[in-house]
Every structure is written in structure tokens, then in C-alpha cells.
Amino acid sequence: MKIKNRIITLATVLVCLVSFMNTAFAADGVVHWYVKNNKDHRRPALEGDLSLINGHNASYIGADEKVIYLTFDAGYENGNVARILDTLKKHDVKAAFFVLENLIKRDTDLVKRMASEGHLVCNHTASHKNMSLVTDKNTFASELEALEKVYTEYTGNTLAKYYRPPEGSFNESNLIHADELGYHTVFWSFAYADWDNNKQPDTERALDKIMSHIHNGEIMLLHPTSATNAAILDTLLTRLKSEGYRFGTLDELRCTS
């Protein structure tokens, strides 16, 4: 009887342990950001695990009005980032650049130019590591604070308190820690395959894809190293303005999230 009772007790402990582990995994499980694009200009909705961002000082879309939030993930310069800045200046459009340590150190003047021309320079982490595997607050904070320090050291400026997880991979702890560090986490409601420099999309197809998926409050993610993006941005901004869209800043998102 004692052996039987011990077996039952052990089984109960194992069940509780498995339940705890599943709960812990659910709390800090890896989530990969995505949105389902549509050609009806509908605002994409959160699906499945993506609803995890609710209540955590995070945004993936803005107000339901004709406004576009231009955001760029910039890890290095290949000539196209400067071209992107030239076009933004021509149209007097402000954007947000999520940068890495590499860009700040290697192309300091370019990063200084972003800030001096009114763009937000934001946190994409120092080294572009997979932050979804990080649950410890100190480890998480060290990656963001390392970029803050380098940015201030090299430019004399203070980094804008907006954070974008590398490759859109995150967990709930990341959202909580970013919020505690004063950051607003920014995802996106539109992106396309523009990041591979050896496989750049055709310019006309790229323009058609972007314009056919435009929607109210869109947070558009583009990579400024893309030769295609550098080539089409002038036309893209002209078309969006002609259709009545304005270009907002991420500061507006803090009021709508």
C-alpha cells in the first residue's frame, strides 16, 4: 500500500511539474511576428499568439485614418541609406530608423544626419541577437543599454525610446522588460521581401505590392539598404501624398496603444 501511495504521489508531482513547465513556456514562449497582407486595404488584425502584445506598451498599427508610419531597420550602409535620406528630405517626410551598433560606429555621420534631419533614431539592439531566447531582465536590458551608450558616445544624442525586436522574434518577458525600461515596442502592419541585396525585387512589382497593400494607420517596415527601395521611394511618397496620406511619427503611437 505504501509503495502504491508513493507511486501515486510521484505521479501527482510529475503532473504538477509538467503543468508548471507548460505554463512557464506559454508565458515566455517564442513568438515570431507576422501579418497577413491583403489587397483590399483592410487593416490587418492580430492573430493567435500575436495578441500577446496587447497591454504591453506595444504597437503594430496606428490610428484608423490616412496616416503612414515609415520605419526602417538599418544595420549597415551600402550607399542606399544615404539615398533614402535624400528622398525623405526632398519630400519633408520624417521616419524612424531602428539601428544597430555597427551602423553607429562605422557610419557615425550618417546616423547623426538622421537625427539632425528630424528622424527618430531607435533601438534595434546592439548586436541583432535573437531576443526571444532572453527572459532575464538584466540580460535584456544590457543589449538595449549597450546601444544607448554607443549612440550617445558617438553622436552626443539620446536614443529615442522605441524598440523593435530583431527579425520580429520576441516573448512576453521582452515586452514587459522593454516597457519597464521606458521603451515602446514597435512591430509593423506591412513588410515585404526587400532585405536580400542579392535578390532585389523588380521596382514596378515592388511599387505595386506596396501600394496595393496600403491601409490606414500602416506601420511600414522597409530596409534602407535595399536598392529597390532607394529607387522607388520618391515615386512611392509622391503617390501616397496624392492619395491623401500623411506621414506620422512614432510619438503618436504612444497615445493610441
Active site residues: 73, 223
Cα separation, 76 vs 109, in Å, equals 13
What do you get for the CA distance between the two ends of the chain, in Å?
59
Bridge partner list, 9: none
Q: Is the Cβ–Cβ distance between 104 and 151 less than 8 Å?
A: yes
For residue 209, count other CB atoms closer than 10 A to its CB.
Answer: 17
For the chain, give the number of residues. 257
Round to whole Å and give the CA distance between 156 and 195. 30
- What is the phi/psi pair of residue 185, to 5°? -80, 130
